[in-house]
Amino acid sequence: MEQVEIHKETQNILIQMFSSEAQQERVESIAVEVMQTLPHATLIGASTAGEIIAGKIIERSTVLSISVFEKSSLRLLKSQGDDSYALGLSLAKKVFDSDTKCVITFLDGLAHNGQEYLQGLNAMNYKHAVIAGGMAADMLNFKRTYTICAEHVFSGGAVCVAISGEDLEVLQDYNLGWRAVGPTFTVTKSDGARVYEIDHRPVKELYEEVLGSFAVENMPASTIEFPLILQEEDMQIARSMLSIAKDGSILYGGNIQEGSVVRFGLGSRTLVNQYYPNQQLKESETLQACFLYSCIARKMFLGKELEKNFHILENSAPTSGFFTYGEFFFNENKTKLLNITTTLLFLREKGTEAAKNHTE
């Protein structure tokens, strides 16, 4: 059973804490110090595969992103449990009300299935509040990830903050950059995020035919440039390869249902690092905050080149975020788990002025 702990509505200070510090004790001490200094603030966070602040990429550090709301209210919840869908549903019963505009949530990146968690979380999102955030990471060690709620640092669960206010404007966008190329293939045997057969053939056999024997011998590192691409509604979703089992099946960064039609993705450094804001963003007035939740695979592929894009965003609004093991995106009233993508959450309170400052 999932036990939801509710932290009562607090003053309108939201602190997002992102850390790839090697010692969890250090992270816990920082969280405690922050809450002692700002006891009425709302603190959420996650372990990372790198941090993003003021358009820069950093590692082995802790970033505090502080947002002060003049007109919006915040509500903080956390929960732990073994069943990913039940975990999301337990939070959904508490996190949404008629005024909720946006939910930022972070989930243990190793202990849970992000897609199932999002399905549970969105089950009671009747007013279609935007859901953003991502899966906690651990610098590709794949040993232990954690989330942060106030002074508590814990594994095996999730943390949410609901932001409500009629003057709050919430905009979302994403940047994939990979393009689907070549013929289509059908997934013929899968179980959640694990795929056994495509076109009734072992998956590795297909990879060898399309990418060559060298790619198969060096999986999964060799496939970072060639994710599988699925078309869902009006957006393309990438699925990156995580690991290969002894039976030849392949674990991806998100569920791939049997019957899914996929193509191989192709990415170049120039193509992946281009970003064109959607029309809503172009038409919006001054944005006050930009939160970036970006896949670790993008950092592996592009490295510091990603900062070119992040600096452009920083000119529009203060940026902060982290590199994830999966990104959450809300589209067509559904929540989606993305891979190899940068998701962007923009916030603005109408009738207020923005001030920029960062703490690292």
d(C-alpha 67, C-alpha 69), whole Å? 6
Backbone angles phi, psi at 80, to 5 degrees: -130, 150
The CB-side HSE value for 23 (13 A sphere, CA atoms) comes to 4
d(C-alpha 80, C-alpha 292), whole Å? 25
Residue 129, number of CB atoms within 10 A of its CB: 21
- Is residue 279 scored above 90 in pLDDT? no
In order of 98, 102, 266, 305, the CA distances from 109 in angstroms are 30, 21, 26, 25
Q: How would residue 1 be classed by pLDDT, with cut points 50, 70 and 90?
A: very low
Average pLDDT on 329-355 reads 86
Q: From the centroid of its chain, how far is CA 66?
A: 19
pLDDT digits (tens, 9 = 90+) for 8-59: 555 589 999 999 998 889 999 999 999 999 999 999 999 999 999 999 999 9
- Is residue 79 scored above 50 in pLDDT? yes
Q: With contact defined as beta carbons under 8 Å apart, do 120 and 41 qualify?
A: no
Left, alpha or beta for 69 (phi > 0: left; psi -120 to 50: alpha)? Answer: beta
Q: Which residue has the higher pLDDT, 42 or 357?
A: 42
Location of structure tokens 């110090």: 33
Give me the amino acid identity at 197: E
**Would you call 6 helix, strand, or coil by DSSP?**
strand
* Alpha helices by DSSP H, 224-319: 269-272, 279-283, 296-302, 306-314
